[in-house]
C-alpha cells in the first residue's frame, strides 16, 4: 500500500513525510528512509509520475552545467582566471576557454581580463567537490564594461526572467536598459542612470513579491507609474 | 516546602507562551526569532561560504559553527560582559553537536555555515531557545537537513517533574534539576542532554518521556513560522 501524504505545490519543511510505501521514488531534495520519503529543505512539492521532488524556496545557488552566470575575476593563474561565483566555491576560466582568438604564450593575461572585472560565462563542468569550469567561447558570453551589478536571491532568478523571458523583456522595454541575469543571482544592468535605477527597483520588487500571482501585470503597472512620475 | 503548584500556575507539561518568526534578518541567508516566555532569541545563518583558515577545510564534508552570545543587557540587572566566555563557548559547542546530526554536511564540502545566536532577554532555557531558533534559521537558509530539531528543558523541582523551567523555578529552594533536551522530530532521537542538579532515576525517565512529548509543541511552532514566511510573500 502506497499513498502520497502531501499535495502538489504544498509547502513542506525539512523532515516532513512526503509519501509512504515503495511505489514512489525520491527526487531532488528528498530522501528515503525505510518505506517513507522525507523532505530535506523548505520548498514546494512537485510530483511527476512516481517521482516526488521539492523545488527549494531558499538556499544557496547550486552550480549546474550549462548555466550562464556572472562572476568577478579575483585572481590570475598560469592557466587562466579564478572567478568568484557568489557562492562558497570559486570557478576556473581556462586561457583557451576565454576568447575565440589564439592567445600567445607570453601574452599578459590581465590585458585580456583584469582582476576585478566581471564576466558573463557558462558553466561547462562541475565536480563532486564543487570545482567549477567556465567557458566564454560561445555567443552571448563576454566581459562586462560599464553599467552596474546587483545581487538577488538565486532562487528568484526564474521569476525575474519570466516565462520565455517575458518579465525581463518588459523591464528592458520600459527602462531602455541592457539586462543580463546570471543564474547565480548576479544581474548586470546598463543604460541611462535613471533607467538603471528604475530597473534596479523593479528587479528588487520582483524578488520581494516573487510568489504572488499576476506578477507581470503588477510590474507593468509599477513601471508605467514610475515612468510617468519621472516625466512630470 | 513541597512544590505542588507551579509558581506561575502552569500545568506541569505546559510550556511558556511561544512565538516564532522566520526571515527576520534580511542580510543573512536565513534567520529566525524565537521567544519562549521571557527568553528571547535571534538566530542568523550565513553561508555556505569559504572556510578560513584553510587547514579547517575538509574535502569530505562542510563545517557547522555556532556562536552563542547573551547581550550585555539581557540578564536581570547586572551587565553581562560581552564577548566570548567559558559558558558561551560550551553552549556553542553543545549547540553544534545538537544540530549536526540533522544537517547534511556533505552538501557543502570545504565550506562553512555559521550560525549566530543572540539573546536580548533571558529567563532560563536559553540554550534550548537558541537551538530551536537555529533550526528554523537553518531551514530558512535552505541548508539541506534530514529533520527538524526542537529543544526544551525539563526537570524536577522539589519532587515535581515539570517542563520548561523558568528562572524562578531553577532558583527554587530545595532539590532542583534542570535538563535541557533537544529531540529530532521524526525519530525522537535525543541530540542534546545535559543536567544540572539532582534527580532520581525514575524521575529522570519520567522527565525524558515528558521531553519527547513537549518538544512536539515546539516543533509545531517552528513549522508554523517557516510555512508562514513562505506563504505570506
Residues A197-206 pLDDT 10s: 999 999 999 9
Pairing of strands A132-135, A90-94: parallel
> Which residues lie closer than 8 Å to A179 by C-beta, 6 or more apart?
A168, A171, A172, A187, A188, A189, A190, A199
A-interface mutation test, from B59, B142, B232, most A Cβ less than 10 A away: B142
Say which of B59, B141, B223 has its CB closest to residue A129: B59
Q: Please state the domain extents for chain A.
A: 3-56, 68-135, 148-231
Residue A204: name the closest of A187, A183, A182, A221 by CA.
A187
Distance between A55 CA and the closest CA of chain B, angstroms = 11
Task: Indicate yes or no: pTM above 0.95.
Answer: no
**Fold of the domain built from segment(s) A3-56:** OB fold (Dihydrolipoamide Acetyltransferase, E2P) (2.40.50)
Mean pLDDT of chain A: 90
Q: Is the ipTM of this complex over 0.95?
A: no
Name the residue in chain B with its Cα closest to that of A86: B49
Percent of residues, chain A, with pLDDT higher than 90: 56
- Predicted confidence band of residue A5 (pLDDT cuts 50, 70, 90): confident
What are residue A218's phi and psi, to 5 degrees? Answer: -60, -40
Look-up of cell digits 550560525: B115
Asked if residues A140 and A178 have their Cβ atoms less than 8 Å apart, the reply is no
Q: Cβ A40–B145 below 8 Å, yes or no? A: yes
Q: Cβ B108–A88 below 8 Å, yes or no? A: yes
> Using alpha carbons only, what angle is made at residue B221 by residues B26 and B11, rounded to the nearest 5 degrees?
140
Domain with B104, as residue range(s), is: 18-232
Indicate if A148-231 has the same CATH topology as A3-56.
Answer: no
Residues of chain B with pLDDT under 70: 1, 232-233
Size of interface A-B (CB pairs under 8 A): 91
B145 vs A225: which has the higher pLDDT: B145
Distance from the Cα of residue B29 to its chain's centroid: 19
Window 159-178 of A: residues touching B by CB (8 A cutoff) are: none
How many Å apart are CA B17 and CA B133, to the nearest integer?
A: 15
Query: In total, how many domains does chain B have?
Result: 1
Q: Cβ A13–B111 below 8 Å, yes or no? A: no
pLDDT of residue A232: 66
Residue B136 touches partner A, C-beta closer than 8 Å: no
Q: Cβ A14–B186 below 8 Å, yes or no? A: no
Tell me whether the omega of the peptide bond preceding residue B53 falls within 30 degrees of 0, making it cis: yes
What are residue B193's phi and psi, to 5 degrees? Answer: -150, 110
Q: Cβ B49–A88 below 8 Å, yes or no? A: yes
Distance from the Cα of residue A67 to its chain's centroid: 8
Distance between B99 CA and the closest CA of chain A, angstroms = 13
Kindly state whether residue B6 falls inside one of the protein's structural domains: no
pLDDT of residue B17: 96
How many Å apart are CA A148 and CA A171, to the nearest integer?
A: 15
The region, left, alpha or beta by phi > 0 then psi within -120 to 50, assigned to residue B99 is alpha
Q: Cβ B48–A88 below 8 Å, yes or no? A: yes
Look-up of cell digits 576585478: A116
DSSP labels for B160-223?
A: EEEES--HHHHT-SS-EEEEEEEEETTT--EEEE--EE---HHHHHHHHHHHHHHHHHHHHHHH
Q: b/e string for B173-211 if b means 16 or more Cβ within 10 A? A: eeebbbbbbbbbbbeeeebbeebeeebeeebbeebbebb
Q: b/e string for B88-120 if b means 16 or more Cβ within 10 A? A: beebbebbbebbeebbbbebbbbbbbbbbbbbe
- CB contacts of A129 in chain B (<8 Å) are 59, 109-110
Kindly state whether residue B112 falls inside one of the protein's structural domains: yes
B118 vs A49: which has the higher pLDDT: B118
Q: Cβ B141–A59 below 8 Å, yes or no? A: yes
Q: Cβ B144–A41 below 8 Å, yes or no? A: yes
**Fold of the domain built from segment(s) A148-231:** Ribosomal Protein S8; Chain: A, domain 1 (3.30.1370)
CATH 3.30.1370.110 correct for A68-135: no
User: How do residues A97-148 score in pLDDT, each as one tens digit?
Assistant: 988 888 888 888 999 999 999 999 999 999 988 899 999 999 889 888 889 9
> Which residues lie closer than 8 Å to B15 by C-beta, 6 or more apart?
B36, B152, B163, B164, B214, B217, B218
- CB contacts of B147 in chain A (<8 Å) are 14-15, 38
H-run or E-run covering A33: strand A30-33
pLDDT of residue A8: 84
Kindly state whether residue B213 falls inside one of the protein's structural domains: yes
- Predicted confidence band of residue A210 (pLDDT cuts 50, 70, 90): confident
A-interface mutation test, from B230, B231, B232, most A Cβ less than 10 A away: B230
User: How do residues A61-81 score in pLDDT, each as one tens digit?
Assistant: 999 999 999 999 999 999 899
Asked if residues B139 and B102 have their Cβ atoms less than 8 Å apart, the reply is no
Window 139-198 of B: residues touching A by CB (8 A cutoff) are: 139-148, 184-186
User: How do residues B71-123 score in pLDDT, each as one tens digit?
Assistant: 999 988 889 999 899 999 999 999 999 999 999 999 999 999 999 999 999 99
CATH number at residue B83: 3.30.230.70
Residue A30: name the closest of B63, B145, B224, B109 by CA.
B145
Residue A230 DSSP label:
H
How many Å apart are CA B30 and CA B137, to the nearest integer?
A: 5
Window 21-40 of B: residues touching A by CB (8 A cutoff) are: 29-30
Asked if residues A122 and A141 have their Cβ atoms less than 8 Å apart, the reply is yes
Q: Cβ A15–B147 below 8 Å, yes or no? A: yes
> Which residues lie closer than 8 Å to B137 by C-beta, 6 or more apart?
B22, B28, B30, B31, B32, B43, B44, B45, B115
- Please, is B172 exposed, middle or buried when counting C-beta atoms within 10 Å of its C-beta (0-12, 13-18, 19+)? middle
Q: b/e string for A184-210 if b means 16 or more Cβ within 10 A? A: bbbbbbbbeeebbbbbbebbeebbebb
Asked if residues B26 and B44 have their Cβ atoms less than 8 Å apart, the reply is no
Amino acid at each position: 500500500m502506497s499513498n502520497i501524504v502531501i499535495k502538489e505545490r504544498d509547502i513542506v519543511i525539512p523532515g516532513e513525510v512526503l509519501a509512504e510505501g515503495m511505489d514512489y521514488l525520491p527526487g531532488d531534495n528528498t530522501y528515503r528512509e525505510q518505506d517513507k520519503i522525507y523532505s530535506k529543505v523548505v520548498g514546494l512539492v512537485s510530483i511527476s509520475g512516481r517521482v516526488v521532488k521539492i523545488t527549494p524556496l531558499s538556499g544557496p545557488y547550486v552550480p549546474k552545467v550549462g548555466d550562464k552566470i556572472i562572476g568577478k575575476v579575483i585572481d590570475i593563474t598560469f592557466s587562466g582566471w579564478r572567478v568568484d561565483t557568489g557562492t562558497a566555491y570559486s570557478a576556473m576560466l581556462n586561457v583557451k576557454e576565454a576568447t575565440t582568438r589564439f592567445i600567445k604564450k607570453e601574452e599578459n593575461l590581465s590585458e585580456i581580463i583584469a582582476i576585478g572585472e566581471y564576466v558573463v560565462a557558462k558553466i561547462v563542468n562541475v565536480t563532486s567537490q564543487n570545482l567549477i569550469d567556465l567557458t566564454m567561447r560561445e555567443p552571448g558570453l563576454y566581459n562586462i564594461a560599464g553599467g552596474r551589478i546587483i545581487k538577488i536571491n538565486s532562487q528568484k532568478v526564474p521569476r525575474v526572467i519570466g516565462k520565455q523571458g517575458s518579465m525581463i523583456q518588459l523591464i528592458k522595454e520600459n527602462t531602455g536598459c541592457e539586462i543580463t541575469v546570471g543564474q547565480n543571482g548576479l544581474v548586470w544592468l546598463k543604460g541611462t542612470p535613471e533607467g538603471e535605477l528604475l530597473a534596479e527597483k523593479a528587479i528588487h520588487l520582483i524578488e520581494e513579491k516573487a510568489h504572488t500571482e499576476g506578477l507581470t501585470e503588477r510590474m507593468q503597472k509599477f513601471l508605467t507609474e514610475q515612468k510617468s512620475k519621472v516625466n512630470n | 516546602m513541597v512544590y505542588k503548584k507551579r509558581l506561575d500556575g502552569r500545568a506541569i507539561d505546559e510550556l511558556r507562551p511561544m512565538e516564532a518568526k522566520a526571515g527576520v534578518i534580511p542580510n543573512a541567508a536565513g534567520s529566525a526569532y524565537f521567544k519562549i516566555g521571557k527568553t528571547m532569541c535571534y538566530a542568523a545563518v550565513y553561508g555556505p561560504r569559504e572556510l578560513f583558515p584553510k587547514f579547517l577545510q575538509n574535502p569530505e564534508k562542510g563545517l557547522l559553527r555556532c556562536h552563542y552570545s547573551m547581550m550585555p543587557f539581557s540578564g536581570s540587572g547586572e551587565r553581562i560582559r560581552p564577548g566570548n566566555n567559558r559558558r558561551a563557548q560550551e553552549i556553542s559547542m553543545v549547540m553544534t553537536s545538537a544540530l549536526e546530526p540533522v544537517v547534511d554536511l556533505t552538501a557543502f564540502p570545504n565550506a562553512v555555515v555559521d550560525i549566530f545566536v543572540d539573546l536580548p532577554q533571558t529567563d532560563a532555557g536559553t540554550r534550548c531557545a537558541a537551538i530551536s531558533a537555529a533550526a528554523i534559521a537553518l531551514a530558512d537558509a535552505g541548508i539541506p537537513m534530514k529533520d527538524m530539531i526542537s529543544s526544551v528543558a525539563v526537570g524536577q523541582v522539589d519532587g515535581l517533574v515539570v517542563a520548561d523551567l523558568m528562572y524562578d523555578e531553577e532558583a527554587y529552594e530545595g532539590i532542583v534539576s534542570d535538563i535541557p533536551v533537544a529531540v529530532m522530530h521524526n525519530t525522537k532521537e535525543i541530540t542534546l542532554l545535559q543536567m544540572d542538579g539532582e534527580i532520581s532515576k525514575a524521575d529522570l525517565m519520567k522527565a525524558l518521556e515528558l521531553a519527547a512529548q513537549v518538544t512536539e509543541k515546539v516543533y509545531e511552532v517552528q513549522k508554523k513560522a517557516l510555512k508562514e514566511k513562505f506563504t505570506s510573500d
